[in-house]
Structure 1
């Protein structure tokens, strides 16, 4: 049976070349022709949805070098992990807007790090407006895959991420389906809270290759269902009808053995499709350090390995969408005939 080529989603923009979640990262991804971009959202002290991969921001901004914010450094437990640093919920948006973006992996991506400290942190509204404007300029529909981060943690601080996201989407004109919209989270609870609110979006449940979701751990402790269960036939039976799709760690498709040899594609994509669920995979990156061991080549962690072989296996699974860090490579590969061979 012929496979449909997957959507190519610019993961945090195009962070292989620019600091993640910066305006230029999104602009580059869109210029390369991605089908959608993926902003992660966290919240400020005054309830603004801020585009950052994590609420702890010392690794992706210049906050640690700002003496006026030195007293904000603190230690918190987020989703069961104890972290020390600076957290978005301790800053107003006006304060966060003075910070500048930095490359998260400077040793691995020095070219991107050369763009450090040039661009301010963005709000979700900034990304939504950018995508709408570029859709008009390019004359094509460009989508947004919006990831809600740490909903249970923020609920403990008094913020409903479902309420904030709904309000922002309506205010920005993104709730009516004029442009493609996916809302995803590693916590199914917040997705359930958004269901039935009249927002025209696909809801997608993110699945780690191991562990348990923070919302279920908060509710059930050690009895919480695992992500692995959610990806099993029984778990997928429960998800069918509750969400439109799942988004899985690529290892769940590649199924590497202990020696790092990929045995995939696994059955998870077909199992999900059998239940009417779409499947996305994250994250396609070319550097050796991110590849299954089988596809690594000499040259060190930052060198590009045989990423095409790994990506070809993902494409052969019939996956519906892939997240990429290097937008040009992702568009070139997944829209080419080589992905079908």
Structure 2
């Protein structure tokens, strides 16, 4: 069902009240909202600040959390009505079984470890979240403010008299609701429909969702239409007829909990308004293709003063890695699609002689980063170095990454200045593109080569498709022009290549079975970019459509596009 039809139905029907401009469906893209179930709960402990933060970084439109009330009336974020499954309450308070949340004070709950269980039962051995606290609602509201929407589930409200008023007051105090109006995308939902009627009377302009199967008779439909905006059933109960019926009656529909890509796609095609999932990144890739917002932005980190290489994260949509040029220590920086600083990771034992590019890829189900210490302005280095490291687990990033290996590389025709490196994981090959040659020269190194002795790169051929410089003459060996390659990357699906120069960027399409050399010697798509000084970094933002380029300087200027 088209967005226009859904909106027309909502306006024309006497059913749901969704007329406040905060409907769940993304009308600009005609796709459902990505709703992260208890945060990014597939990779972090559910309903924790870490899970919420990771969901935002994965591109979720709404974060779904569960809210209950402590013995002293404070709102805490927790799914179960007991504390035994996701905290260490049984160990800390062995005599208080069955550890009902309602019988613990907020101060007691704040001392509990809500992260270690994840490494014991959900992801055995992963204790990165040990000590993670149980957040209160105020913490999550502050974390999400201005960054992503909220789907707030009131959990077991019959156990907590007055919880509806407490939530309404908390939303107002945090600035999420002002003068009765929601200030950003927000919906409150529950399996307890009477509680939702109570909440709707407090905040008539805030969308309300009813969890569970839809009403079975006209009287019940008419009743819920007075206070509800959405019917949110289990996806197992949903087919096209149900989606159409809910829309016909003027309600939105979000479904839970969907983790398989095939089912996600089927529900997208049915026209649901939101999909609740433990795997927001997987859904985001289906819905949005991982695309970042268009336009210019700059990096917030004061430590990135000479951005010389960039690669997109293989783990999180909307997260990018970058590094400085020569003069910095061996470290990589993380940032998101708005330039927000996500931290940095050091590579102890490595040297940054002249880092000029980086690439990201997946191999054997793992995410990797390749850092290319391949700059050689005067063509004097007998060997250059490639560092291959596992992509760190989750932002915010800090500390050191010791899990990396280094390759020493020589060229068959003598030293070369290089600022472009790309990895084809399917071919298990690293490609290097020279900078100071009349025609850039393409070389190849085995991705899984040993690191004991230097590896001689294989010369693949010349890339002759780039335009002539403004002078009308090809550069001499050792010279730089505005069409000299300063960054190089392959798309994750192996269908596109990107060459960045100081002036413009060039995107190449590769046909199935075509070699990279042949693909790079056909006419490229020319991409106009802003007139930044020293454009030396570039990567694909998704699977071959959007690109992001970056320049040196402080703050580093970046430009993202989907054209």
Instruction: Tell me the TM-score normalised to structure 2 length.
Output: 0.44
What SS does the aligned partner of 1:273 have?
Answer: helix
Residues 1:55 and 2:90 aligned together: no
User: Of 151, 161, 170, which residue of structure 1 is paired with 2:157?
Assistant: 151
Q: Provide closer, same or farther for how the CA distance between residues 320 and 91 of structure 1 changes in structure 2, counting only shifts above 3 A.
A: same
Q: Provide closer, same or farther for how the CA distance between residues 231 and 123 of structure 1 changes in structure 2, counting only shifts above 3 A.
A: farther
**Contact 2:200 2:206 survives alignment (8 Å):** no
Q: Provide closer, same or farther for how the CA distance between residues 171 and 315 of structure 1 changes in structure 2, counting only shifts above 3 A.
A: same
Structure with greater proportional helix content: 1
**Contact 2:232 2:254 survives alignment (8 Å):** yes
Cα displacement (A) at 1:124: 0.7
Residues 1:249 and 2:246 aligned together: no
What SS does the aligned partner of 1:71 have?
Answer: coil
Q: Which has the higher contact order (CA 8 A, sep 6+)?
A: 1
Find the aligned partners of 1:167 and 1:278 in 2 and give their Cα distance: 26
User: Of 165, 173, 176, which residue of structure 1 is paired with 2:167?
Assistant: 165
Residues 1:279 and 2:292 aligned together: no
Cα displacement (A) at 1:199: 5.7
Find the aligned partners of 1:122 and 1:279 in 2 and give their Cα distance: 28
- Structure 1 unmatched runs, 5+: 74-84, 136-140, 208-226, 254-264, 286-306
Find the aligned partners of 2:131 and 2:125 in 1 and give their Cα distance: 11
**Contact 1:9 1:323 survives alignment (8 Å):** yes
**Contact 1:17 1:112 survives alignment (8 Å):** no
Cα displacement (A) at 1:252: 0.9
**Contact 2:116 2:131 survives alignment (8 Å):** no
1:195-243 Cα offsets, whole Å, 9 max, x none, are 2324641000000xxxxxxxxxxxxxxxxxxx4x626676444432330
Cα displacement (A) at 1:121: 0.6
**Contact 2:71 2:106 survives alignment (8 Å):** yes
Counterpart mapping for 1:231-270 below 5 A? 235-253=220-238, 265-270=239-244
Find the aligned partners of 2:163 and 2:121 in 1 and give their Cα distance: 33
Residues 1:100 and 2:113 aligned together: yes
Instruction: Tell me the TM-score normalised to structure 1 length.
Output: 0.71
Counterpart mapping for 1:313-328 below 5 A? 313-328=266-281
Find the aligned partners of 2:51 and 2:134 in 1 and give their Cα distance: 12
- Root-mean-square deviation (Å): 2.3
Q: Provide closer, same or farther for how the CA distance between residues 250 and 231 of structure 1 changes in structure 2, counting only shifts above 3 A.
A: farther
Cα displacement (A) at 1:114: 3.0
Residues 1:308 and 2:310 aligned together: no
Find the aligned partners of 2:120 and 2:211 in 1 and give their Cα distance: 28
Find the aligned partners of 2:183 and 2:101 in 1 and give their Cα distance: 31
Q: Does 4-13 or 111-120 show the bigger shift?
A: 111-120
Structure with greater proportional strand content: 2
- Structure 2 unmatched runs, 5+: 4-29, 291-563
What SS does the aligned partner of 2:169 have?
Answer: helix
Counterpart for residue 312 of structure 2: none
